[in-house]
Amino acid sequence: MKAKGQIFIVSAPSGSGKTTLLRKLLEEDERLRFSVSYTTRKPRGRERNGKEYFFVSEMEFETMIERGRFLEHAKVFGNYYGTSRQYVEDCVTAGTDLLLDIDTDGAAQVRRQLPEAVTIFIMPPSFQALEQRLEQRHLDSAETIRQRLDWASREEIHQFRHYDYVVVNDLLSRSHDQLRSIVMAERCRRDRSLEQIENILKSFGGDSIDR
């Protein structure tokens, strides 16, 4: 019996350090693929089409919604973002573990459809640290930063309660270790190791797993 791919969903208020942490995790973990989302926002900095996102127009995005192409989609800070249903299904069937970097609204939509998905919430160590990180990143205007902080305080930060795990991104190396450990521990769950266990049992002369 071939094991299905495991889905890991990671959400965080903007500026918490999620991109930094996920980049490092993906670099080190060859079994983990990144689900490239579709978005109507414009590319930022060195972002390339097909790498960080698939950049599409509002019309293209809305056509994709009508055709049921998204597993989930949401409007975040005025732009559409969505996860390809086909890509997720293909990875799960092929046994490939998949990382979804999506907002809390999208995470709730996926959780309803795929309750076996593992959800991780990344928290900044404080409001002040979040503010400082958004400023030092030099990506957003003062007005955008104000909007992001306001949304983080009113809505996003409270969503941690719906997630399986919380990682407080204080010291980067420690948060990274925590994130890696979550992924490793989830892979060791009995139900996800049945293929390997079955082979081991065979070597012991047993038939198959008694479930």
Tokens (6 digits) for 76 = 């975040």
The most distant pair of C-alpha atoms in the chain lies apart, rounded to whole Å, by 67
From the list ligand 5GP, ligand ADP, none, partner contacted by residue 41 (C-beta under 5 to 8 A by kind): ligand 5GP
> In angstroms, what is the minimal distance from the CB of 103 to ligand ADP?
11
Please identify, using beta-carbon distances, which residue of 142 and 188 lies nearer to ligand 5GP.
142
26 is a contact residue toward ligand 5GP (CB under 6 A): no
17 is a contact residue toward ligand 5GP (CB under 6 A): no
The SS3 call for residue 13 is: coil
Please identify, using beta-carbon distances, which residue of 41 and 192 lies nearer to ligand 5GP.
41
- The residues binding ligand ADP (CB under 6 A) are 12, 14-20, 133, 136-137, 169, 172, 175
Query: What span, in angstroms and rounded, lies between the C-alpha atoms of 2 and 72?
Result: 26
Please identify, using beta-carbon distances, which residue of 14 and 84 lies nearer to ligand ADP.
14
Nearest alpha carbon to residue 38 among 82, 68, 73, 74? 82
Answer for the pair 114, 22: CB distance below 8 angstroms, yes or no: no
Please count the other Cβ atoms lying within 10 Å of the Cβ belonging to residue 102.
Answer: 24
First-to-last C-alpha distance (Å) of the chain: 13
Please identify, using beta-carbon distances, which residue of 97 and 101 lies nearer to ligand 5GP.
101
Please identify, using beta-carbon distances, which residue of 12 and 88 lies nearer to ligand ADP.
12
Query: What span, in angstroms and rounded, lies between the C-alpha atoms of 29 and 74?
Result: 28
14 is a contact residue toward ligand 5GP (CB under 6 A): yes
Placement of tokens 């990671």 in the chain: 10
* Of the candidate residues 21, 106, 124, 175, the single one contacting ligand 5GP (CB under 6 A): 106
From the list ligand ADP, ligand 5GP, none, partner contacted by residue 106 (C-beta under 5 to 8 A by kind): ligand 5GP
Query: Distance of alpha carbon 209 from its chain centroid, rounded?
Result: 32
Nearest alpha carbon to residue 84 among 103, 61, 104, 105? 61
* Of the candidate residues 74, 98, 145, 182, the single one contacting ligand 5GP (CB under 6 A): 74
Q: Which stretch binds ligand 5GP (CB under 6 A): 86-94, 103-111, 116-124, 125-133?
A: 103-111
Query: What span, in angstroms and rounded, lies between the C-alpha atoms of 159 and 101?
Result: 15
**Using CB under 6 A as the criterion, which residues of the chain lie in contact with ligand 5GP when the complex forms?**
14, 37, 41, 72, 74, 76, 81-83, 101-103, 105-106
